[in-house]
Amino acid sequence: MSNIRQLRDRVPESEKITINLGFVDLGRIDLLVQEGFYSNRSDFIRTAIRNHLDTHGATVTQSIERHTMELGLRDYSVADLEALKAAGEVLHVRVVGLARIDAAVTPELALETIGSITVLGALQASAAVKSALADRIK
């Protein structure tokens, strides 16, 4: 048994969402899939969303700058939060994308160092940390 080691849990690369479409729109998507333009419905929807976001790229960029938000993936480790605590600073998380609070971060440390969390995308943190910060998550 000493030769067995646990692999790290795999973090999903995307967030699953559910949408409702009318039958006609769904049929039109299926037709494009059948004709080979897209590999499946999800491929069509992802492509459509990316294209639409690209048309609003400047607006998104301006909004991120206006709100001083970070774009992409932002990790917060125990060391990051301990450094903030030592400096007497409070963190205001503002991320467009994915914000991850390390699983080793305790609810107590999170409460001492995180003043607010605004994430447009997804927040990954332990259930205990999310519960402790519930009133600070927007």
Predicted confidence (pLDDT) per residue in 96-130, tens digit:
999 999 999 999 999 999 999 999 999 999 999 99
Which tokens is 82 given? 């301990």
Tokens of 45: 């929807």
Which residues neighbour 15 within 8 Å (Cβ) at sequence distance 6 or greater? 121, 122
Which residues sit opposite 75 in a β-bridge?
Answer: 100
Strands in the chain per DSSP E: 70-76, 91-101, 114-124
pTM of the model: 0.59
> Residue 130 to residues 28, 123, 127: CA-CA distances in angstroms?
41, 9, 5
* Cα separation, 131 vs 136, whole angstroms: 10
pLDDT confidence of residue 85:
93
pLDDT of residue 7 exceeding 80: no
Phi and psi at residue 72, to the nearest 5°: 115, -135
Residue 66 has pLDDT above 80, yes or no: no
Tell me the average pLDDT of the chain: 89
Residues whose CB is less than 8 angstroms from the CB of residue 107 and which lie 6 or more positions away in sequence, other chains included:
128, 129, 131, 132, 133
Q: What is the pLDDT of residue 3?
A: 55
How far apart are the C-alpha atoms of 46 and 54, rounded to whole Å?
A: 12
